[in-house]
A = this chain, B = another copy of it.
Amino acid sequence: MINVFIVDDHPLVVEGLKSLLYGIDDIQVVATAANAFEAFEILQKVNIDIAFLDINLPDVNGIELCKKIKGKWPNIKCIALTTSNERTIIGRMMQNGAVGYLMKSSSKDELIRAIRQVYEGGYFMNVTMSETVVDKSLTVPFLTRREKEVLGLIADGMTNVEIADKLFVSPTTIKTHRENLLMKFGVSNTASLIKVAAQQGLLEE
């Protein structure tokens, strides 16, 4: 019997998963949690085989949670739960010990396949996602604090001069940061820079 644990703050998703898994002989949902704090309390009491982790939790994000679970309970297999727009974060999730991910738009069959495959020591990824996307996500560039700051201001529509004024530095400095951003993201202009940044969730509101 595979003991499944669901961590997601969306009741719809939790209920949906429970409902889809109900009646499957070798699988049982033994607990659910709406946030990382709750999740930890449960993990200490309940014996878990597989944990589904939402990437956007209210307190800690799924990536951190995954890392922590892997640290304390290395035998628990974590599967990331994602929506379409969060695909690019999957690479980071895998680097932090997840052994699978499942899009919330997956079918019942995919869900069950994911659980069994992961339980038997394998990896699971939605087939709809090509390796290229995974590769892309793995190349999320490391940005310095300053670069992130400049990136945000660029996305807000500010020019180099405006940003320079705001940060009390020279426009050439901002220009350099901008060039480094283009280089790190492997793009050739601002438009694609902002696009990939947005897709990787680096631009909040």
Contact = CB atoms under 8 A, between A and B. Distances in A.
A195 B205 CA distance: 9
Given A15-B16, A155-B192, 18 more contacts: A9-B105, A10-B104, A11-B20, A13-B13, A15-B17, A15-B19, A16-B16, A83-B83, A155-B195, A156-B192, A156-B195, A157-B189, A157-B191, A190-B190, A195-B198, A195-B203, A198-B198, A198-B203
Contacts of A191: 154-157, 190-191, 193-194
B194 A198 contact: yes
B11 A108 contact: yes
A103 to B, nearest CB: 9
Given A11-B108, A108-B11, A187 B157 contact: yes
A42 interface: no
A12 B195 contact: no
A20 B14 CA distance: 10
Contact of A85 (B20, B85, B155, B194): B85
A28 to B, nearest CB: 16
A61 interface: no
Report how many copies the assembly holds.
2
A199 interface: yes
Dominant SS among interface residues on chain A? helix
Interface in A158-205: 159, 187-195, 198-199, 203, 205
Contact of A12 (B106, B190, B198): B106
A188 to B, nearest CB: 6
Interface in A130-164: 154-157, 159
A107 B58 CA distance: 14
